[in-house]
Homo-oligomer: A and B are copies of this chain.
Amino acid sequence: MSKPLRIGVAGLGTVGVGVVKILAARREFLAAAAGRSIDLVAVSARDSAKSRGIDLDGVRWENDARKLAAANDIDVVVELIGGAEGVAREVVETALANGKHVVTANKALIAHHGISLARAAEQRGVAFNYEAAVAGGIPIIKALREGLAANEIESLVGILNGTCNYILTEMETTGRDFGDVLKDAQALGYAEADPSFDVGGIDAAHKLAILASLAFGREIDFGSVHIEGIEKITAADIRFAREFGYKIKLLAIATKTDGGVEQRVHPALVADGSPLAAVSGVFNAVAVRGDRVGLLVLEGRGAGEGPTASAVLSDLVDIARGLVMPPFIVPTSHLKQPAKANADKSQSAYYLRFNAIDRAGSMAEITRALANAAVSIERIVQPGEQGDTGRKPVVFVTHKTEEGSMRAAQTHLSRLEDVAGKPLVIRIEDGESR
Contact = CB atoms under 8 A, between A and B. Distances in A.
A148 to B, nearest CB: 7
B434 A314 contact: no
Copies in the complex: 2
A323 B320 CA distance: 11
A297 B294 contact: no
A309 B150 contact: yes
B292 A22 contact: yes
A182 interface: no
Interface string A120-153: 0000000000010000011100110011111110
Interface string A303-339: 0101101110110011001111110011100100000
Nearest to A298: B298
Contact of A149 (B291, B296, B314, B329): B314
A332 to B, nearest CB: 11
A275 B299 contact: yes
A334 to B, nearest CB: 5
A83 B314 CA distance: 33
Contact of A296 (B137, B148, B318, B324): B137
Contacts of A298: 296-299
B146 A280 contact: no
Nearest to A31: B330
A400 interface: no
Interface in A357-385: none
Contacts of A299: 275, 296-299
Given A313-B150, A329-B33, A138 B296 contact: yes
A30 B142 CA distance: 16
Interface of A: 18, 22, 26, 29-30, 32-33, 35, 131, 137-139, 142-143, 146-152, 217, 273, 275, 278-281, 283, 290-301, 304, 306-307, 309-311, 313-314, 317-318, 321-326, 329-331, 334, 434
18 contacts: A26-B150, A26-B152, A29-B217, A30-B149, A30-B150, A137-B294, A139-B143, A146-B318, A147-B314, A149-B314, A280-B434, A292-B309, A293-B306, A294-B301, A294-B304, A321-B323, A321-B324, A322-B324
